[in-house]
Amino acid sequence: MERLQKYLANAGVASRRKAEEIIAEGRVKVNGAVVTEQGTKVDPETDVVLLDGKPVGARQGQRYLLLYKPPGCVTTMSDPQGRPTAASYLTGVKERVFPVGRLDYDAEGAVLFTTDGELANRLAHPRYGHRRVYLVKVKGDASAGAAPGSAAALAPRLEDSLARLREGVRLEDGPAKALSCEIHEKAEKNVWLRIEVGEGRYHLVKRLCEAVGLTVLRLFRPEFGGVSVQGLRSGHFRDLAPEELRAMRALVGLEGRGGEHDLSDIPEAREAPVKRPLPKAARRHGHGPPAPRGQEPKPRPEPLAAPSRQPPEVAARPGRPAPSGQRPGSGKPAAPGKASSSGKPTSSGRAFSSGNRPSAGKPFSPGKRPGSGKPSRLGKPPRSR
C-alpha cells in the first residue's frame, strides 16, 4: 500500500506537490469513487485509479534527463501565455517527463526532467536539504579605488555584502540566507559569485543579492543534484548515467545507509558536500535562445554574383584591346567622328582647325583676345610703372 499522491507521482502524472493539487480538485477516482483526501492509501496491484476518466498504471521504467536550459524560456511543459518552454527542447522524448523545480525565465543552466515522482519530491522539498549551487554575475566592487567621500566610496563593499548573505536577510516572504557564498571569479568590470541555497523559493537568489545591494547581471546553475552540465551546449540534453543516478538518489536518502526511509543525514546533520570544479556558462551571441533540435533555421543561400557588362570575349581577356569600331570595355560601336586637320577624330566627334579654339570651335581674329571679344594687347608698348 502507498499513498495516492506518491502513486500518481511514480506513474509519471506529475510531481508530488502537483499530484496533491490534482487530488484536491476531485479529478482522481479510486475504484469508481472520487477521492479528495490527502494520504489515501491505494494498492497498485488491485486498485483501479482513474485521472480525468483515464486509467493510471504503475510505471515500469523511469527516465532521467538533464537539460541545459537556455535563457529566454520558462521551466514548464506548456505556457498559457505562449512563451517558449524548456520542454520544447526535449525533442524525441516520448515519456511523460516533468521538470524538478524551476529556473527563472532569464536564468540558464541545469534542469532535471524525470518521471520519478519520489526523487523529484526529495530534490525539491526543503526538508531534505538539497543544496542548489548557482554562479551569479554581479557588478564589481564599486567602492574599490573610489575617491574618498564619493557616492561609490559610501557603497557597501563586496565582502560586507557576502557576509550579510551568509548571516541572512529578511525578504517579503520571510527570512532567507545563503548556505555559502564566496567569490568564484573576477572579471575586468564584474565578479562571479558562487552561492548555495537550500530551498527553491521564487527568485530567491536574485532577491537575496538585491537585499544586500548587489546588481545581478547573469544567473547560471552549473549543476543540479550533483550532476553537471559540463559538455552540454545550451538547449541540449542527455540521459543520466547509472552512476550519476545512484549518486543523486544517495544524496537525498533514497539509497545508501538506511535506504528509502533513512532521514538521519538531512538536513542539518548532513555535512557540506565536497566542492567540485564548476563549468562556465555558455557564451551568448545576442541572437536570443537557441532553436530546439530539428527546428534550426536553414542557412541563407549566398547571393549570386552580378553579371558582367563586358562581352564574353572582352571579359575573358581583360588585357586585350577592344575590336575596332567599339568603345573599350563597352561592347558598343564608337560614335562616328569627323576627321580633323590631322585626320584623327576628336573626343567630341567635332573637327577643329588651327584657327579655331579647341573648346568651342569658333574662329577668332588675331587682333582680339580669344573668347573675350576685346582687342588684343599685342603690338602695344608696355605700361609704364
CA angle centred on 260, ends 35 and 26, rounded to 5°:
10
The CATH number of 131-224, from 3.30.420.40, 3.30.70.1560, 3.40.50.980, 3.40.50.261, is 3.30.70.1560
* Domains 2-55 and 61-130+225-269 in one fold: no
Query: Which residue, among 14, 209, 279, has the nearest Cα to 121 in the 3D structure?
Result: 14
Q: Would you please indicate which residues are annotated as catalytic (active-site) residues? A: 104
Q: Which of 116, 113, 117, 61 is nearest to 91 (CA)?
A: 113
Contact at 8 Å (CB) between 10 and 117? yes
Q: Among the residues of the chain, which ranges form H helices? A: 4-10, 16-24, 117-124, 151-154, 158-167, 204-211, 242-251, 312-316
Task: For the chain, give every domain's residue range.
Answer: 2-55, 61-130+225-269, 131-224
Q: What is the CATH number of domain 2-55?
A: 3.10.290.10
Could you identify the residue written with the cell 534542469?
A: 111
Average pLDDT over residues 140-167: 65
Q: Which residues contact 277 (CB under 8 A, 6 or more apart)?
A: none
Query: In this structure, how many other beta carbons lie within 10 angstroms of the beta carbon of residue 156?
Result: 15
As assigned by CATH, the class of the 61-130+225-269 domain is alpha beta
Rank 103-107, 309-313, 377-381 by mean pLDDT and report only the highest. 103-107
Q: Quickly list DSSP for 180-221.
A: EEEEEEE-SSEEEEEEEES---TTHHHHHHHHTT--EEEEEE
Point out which residues pair with 219 in neighbouring strands: 136
Cell of residue 268, nine digits: 542539518
226-283 per-position pLDDT tens digit: 999 999 999 999 999 999 999 999 988 887 644 444 444 444 434 445 567 788 888 7
Q: What percent of the chain has a predicted confidence (pLDDT) above 70?
A: 63
Return the higher-pLDDT residue of 151 and 235. Answer: 235
pLDDT of residue 132: 93
Q: To which residue does cell 538531512 refer?
A: 266
Task: Quote the mean pLDDT of the chain.
Answer: 76
**Which pLDDT tens digit goes with each residue over 94-116?**
888 999 988 999 999 999 999 88
Which residue type does 177 have?
Answer: K
Grid coordinates representing 15 are 510531481
Per-residue pLDDT, 208: 95
Q: Look at 121 and 268; give whichever has higher pLDDT.
A: 121
Per-residue pLDDT of 180-197, as tens digits, reads 999 999 887 889 999 999
What is the average per-residue pLDDT within 14-36?
88
Distance CA 288, CA 282 (A): 13
Instruction: State the pTM of this model.
Output: 0.60
CA-CA distance, 152 to 166, in Å (whole number)?
Answer: 23
- Quote the cell numbers at residue 65: 534527463
